[in-house]
């Protein structure tokens, strides 16, 4: 696990070594164990290393036999041992025992198609000195980030945005379209970022840079087709084998491993398999929250730990921990983009606790999107039935729900989506924290006019994915979309940034792309069976876990956001959003902001997620724009 960066100049002019050094230096937290660079006229590559595999011999850049090819790389190729044996059979000679060198020889043998053979998480840059071409690639599901920007004839890329900002020509401006998408989805969908002119390479894509220009292509072209013959017992065995193999591969490491342990089935199953394959007790880590009795996982996680004999560690977070983190400016300097994901800071504290004991942690993240683990999928399932009811009934129901006071924001959003017959619009209604009407009122003035007729364009990332799977049922469509949008652009991004800020590598076995393809080949009723989420997933792993853990209510490190915002954090939030130095006033209507906060605190309505998103944007703006 590492930090990578680079500069490519299409004109052939030598790159600036001082700029390359600054770009790499700002990524030091991602790789405190070593550094390397390559300067070859129009190309400059920088690398910061976190040593996980081949501690002595894995320094980068790494080349092939004649050093025509050179690579810098962030991630892990879990099937590197099997690929190495195959390549050795094809007469490739290796100088190290690292997975990095396997990528070089795989590219030498199979060209750009090599990425289709990798099981893992990766973002890498490979320079071909003979062809004078640079090849960039990102893993199937976007577990590892890769950002880039084009400045004239130069292209800069890096693991983190702050490295690109070391270039004086990379100006810090808000992309207003991205801001509107942030309010809609709570994150900015690829390929945009909140920074104007800075993009993300999409998951499952590669990019080739040469004198001829830039070429970007999708290599993971998997489009689900539902299996015709279904035998649930056989599918359970097939999936169980895949899960165990994925976890086994991800235990390959030359340093100590641990586990983020929640109270649920996903991390519990990983603990069971880790306990089977590792000789020493597993190091497990959990966090809880002050006043979070309904969502705390500490006791349930401890029970799982006791079941498998792990060495368990936990920490209880307080509102003061959050306020101190926010006030330090470290939060958004680390995260780099605002998200409405209230668990983001929790991942930082969890990673900080974990890195005291291990350098690698496995996580159960990534099983909910392919397997329908969230409550919103139930709404999608029942929307078809609901849409068939007479309008005289649905309109009355919507009117009643719309006027219920208090904490019913999710319910109202769900009801608003249920009545929509157009599937894409139904999805957008479910996703939209600030719906189009709220955005118009919130923006006000010139910005309201700018976005007045742009909803269709802003919905394009979701629309394109929905078109790819329009042959599937609505639940399967939404699972496909979430796995390729909110998962990489929100949850995985947060996990990567917060863990790497603590020089900790996090692995996500349930996002082995073979497992995702398996799940997406099944009919929706094997994922969401009646009211049971993740049905076949749970059936497959239940033999490894105590029955009490199988259908336990999902918690997932949820902080008591509403309680904290209306009590301990109220003064802080109000001061941040309405201070004379506030940036949100340059974008949003002050009167509408006050209405939202007042309605939430008085419990006349529920706007905790809206407030947290606005707070996130303000803190991000202070960290990157106001103080540029």
Structure tokens at 382: 């029942």
Cβ–Cβ under 8 Å, residues 35 and 50: no
561 pLDDT tier (thresholds 50, 70, 90): confident
Does the structure show a pLDDT above 80 at 279?
yes
Over residues 71-83, the pLDDT tens digits come to: 999 999 999 999 9
Cβ–Cβ under 8 Å, residues 546 and 538: no
DSSP state of 32: B
301 pLDDT tier (thresholds 50, 70, 90): very high
Per-residue pLDDT averaged across 200-225, rounded? 97
232-367+485-550: CATH architecture: 3-Layer(aba) Sandwich (3.40)
CA atoms within 13 A on the CB side of 390: 3
Same fold, 2-218 and 232-367+485-550: no
3-state SS track over 439-450: HHHHHCHHHHHH
Q: Rounded to 5 degrees, what angle do the CA atoms 319, 322, 324 make?
A: 110
Per-residue pLDDT averaged across 393-414, rounded? 57
Residue 592 parent element (H or E): helix 590-601
Residue 387 burial (10 A CB sphere; 0-12, 13-18, 19+): middle
Residue 551 CB: number of other CB atoms within 10 A?
Answer: 14
602 pLDDT tier (thresholds 50, 70, 90): confident
The pTM is what? 0.94
Cα 468–chain centre separation: 21
Structure tokens at 604: 């006349």
Bridge-based pairing of strands 360-362 and 505-507 is parallel
The whole-number pLDDT of residue 382 equals 77
Over residues 470-488, the pLDDT tens digits come to: 999 999 999 999 999 999 9
Bridge-based pairing of strands 133-138 and 205-210 is antiparallel
* CA-closest candidate to residue 572, choices 288, 346, 294, 318: 318
Sign of CA dihedral 263, 267, 270, 274: negative
Residue 284 CB: number of other CB atoms within 10 A?
Answer: 28
Sequence-separated (6 or more) residues with CB below 8 Å from residue 541: 240, 243, 265, 268, 269, 272
CATH H-level superfamily of 2-218: Aminohydrolase, N-terminal nucleophile (Ntn) domain (3.60.20.10)
42 pLDDT tier (thresholds 50, 70, 90): very high
* CA-closest candidate to residue 239, choices 251, 253, 227: 227
DSSP state of 434: S
Mark 575-605 as b/e (b = at least 16 C-beta within 10 Å).
ebbeeeebbbeebbbeeebeebbeebbeeeb
Sequence-separated (6 or more) residues with CB below 8 Å from residue 549: 263, 264, 265, 268, 300, 304
Q: Is 272 helix (H, G, I), strand (E, B) or coil?
A: helix
Partnered with residue 157 across adjacent β-strands are: 6, 148
Domain boundaries, the chain: 2-218, 232-367+485-550
Cβ–Cβ under 8 Å, residues 161 and 168: no
Q: Rounded to 5 degrees, what angle do the CA atoms 409, 413, 414 make?
A: 115
Over residues 132-170, the pLDDT tens digits come to: 999 999 999 999 999 999 999 999 999 999 999 999 999
DSSP state of 587: T
Does the structure show a pLDDT above 60 at 562?
yes
Round to whole Å and give the CA distance between 536 and 538.
5
Per-residue pLDDT averaged across 57-86, rounded? 95
The whole-number pLDDT of residue 43 equals 98
Residue 378 burial (10 A CB sphere; 0-12, 13-18, 19+): middle
DSSP state of 450: H
Residue 328 burial (10 A CB sphere; 0-12, 13-18, 19+): exposed
Q: Residue 154: phi, psi to the nearest 5?
A: -105, 145
């Amino acid at each position: 696990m590492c930090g990578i960066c680079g500069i490519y100049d299409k004109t052939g002019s030598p790159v600036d070594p001082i700029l390359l050094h600054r770009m790499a230096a700002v990524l030091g937290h991602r790789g405190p164990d070593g550094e390397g660079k390559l300067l070859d006229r129009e190309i400059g590559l920088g690398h910061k290393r976190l040593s996980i595999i081949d501690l002595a011999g894995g320094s980068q850049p790494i080349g092939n036999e004649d050093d025509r090819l050179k690579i810098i790389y962030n991630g892990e190729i879990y099937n590197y041992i099997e690929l190495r044996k195959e390549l050795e059979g094809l007469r490739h000679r290796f100088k190290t025992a690292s997975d990095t060198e396997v990528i070089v020889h795989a590219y030498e043998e199979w060209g750009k198609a090599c990425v289709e053979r990798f099981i893992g998480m990766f973002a890498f840059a490979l320079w071909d000195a003979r062809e004078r071409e640079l090849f960039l690639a990102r893993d199937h599901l976007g577990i590892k980030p890769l950002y880039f920007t084009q400045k004239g004839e130069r292209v800069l890329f890096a693991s983190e945005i702050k490295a690109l900002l070391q270039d004086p020509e990379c100006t810090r401006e808000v992309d207003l379209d991205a801001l509107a998408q942030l309010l809609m989805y709570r994150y900015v969908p690829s390929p945009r970022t909140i920074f104007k002119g800075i993009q993300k390479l999409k998951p499952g894509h590669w990019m080739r840079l040469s004198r001829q220009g830039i070429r970007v292509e999708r290599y993971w072209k998997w489009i689900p087709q539902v299996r015709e013959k279904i035998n649930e017992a056989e599918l359970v065995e097939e999936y169980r084998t895949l899960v165990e193999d994925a976890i086994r591969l991800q235990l390959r490491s030359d340093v100590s491993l641990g586990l983020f342990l929640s109270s649920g089935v996903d991390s519990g199953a990983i603990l069971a398999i880790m306990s089977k394959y590792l000789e020493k007790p597993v190091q497990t880590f959990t966090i809880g929250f002050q006043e979070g009795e309904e969502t705390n996982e500490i006791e349930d996680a401890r029970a799982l730990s006791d079941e498998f004999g792990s060495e368990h560690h936990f920490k209880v977070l307080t509102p003061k921990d959050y306020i101190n983190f926010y006030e330090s400016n470290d939060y958004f300097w680390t995260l780099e983009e605002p998200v409405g994901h209230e668990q983001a800071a929790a991942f930082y504290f969890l990673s900080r606790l974990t890195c005291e004991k291990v350098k690698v942690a496995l996580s159960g993240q990534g099983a909910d999107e392919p397997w329908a683990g969230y409550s919103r999928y139930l709404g999608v399932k029942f929307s078809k039935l609901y849409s068939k009811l007479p309008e005289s009934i649905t309109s009355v129901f919507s009117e009643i729900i719309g006027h219920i006071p208090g904490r019913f924001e999710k319910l109202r959003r769900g009801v608003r989506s249920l009545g929509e017959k157009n599937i894409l619009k139904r999805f957008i209604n479910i996703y939209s924290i600030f719906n189009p009407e709220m955005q118009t009122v919130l923006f006000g003035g010139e910005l309201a006019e700018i976005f007045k007729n742009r909803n269709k364009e802003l919905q394009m990332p979701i629309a394109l994915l929905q078109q790819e799977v329009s042959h599937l049922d609505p639940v399967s469509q939404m699972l496909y979309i979430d796995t390729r949008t909110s998962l990489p652009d929100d949850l995985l991004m947060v996990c990567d940034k917060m863990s790497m800020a603590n020089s900790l590598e996090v692995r996500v076995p349930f996002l082995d792309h073979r497992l995702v393809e398996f799940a997406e080949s099944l009919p929706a009723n094997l994922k969401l069976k009646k009211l049971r989420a993740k049905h076949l997933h749970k059936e497959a792993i239940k033999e490894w876990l105590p029955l009490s853990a199988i259908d336990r209510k999902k918690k997932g490190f949820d902080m008591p956001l509403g309680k904290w915002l209306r009590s301990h954090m109220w003064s802080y939030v109000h001061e941040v959003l309405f201070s004379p130095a506030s940036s949100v006033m340059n974008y949003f209507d002050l009167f509408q902001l006050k209405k939202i906060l007042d309605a939430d605190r008085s419990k006349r309505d529920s706007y905790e997620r809206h407030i947290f998103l606005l707070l996130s944007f303000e803190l991000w703006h202070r960290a990157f724009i106001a103080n540029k």
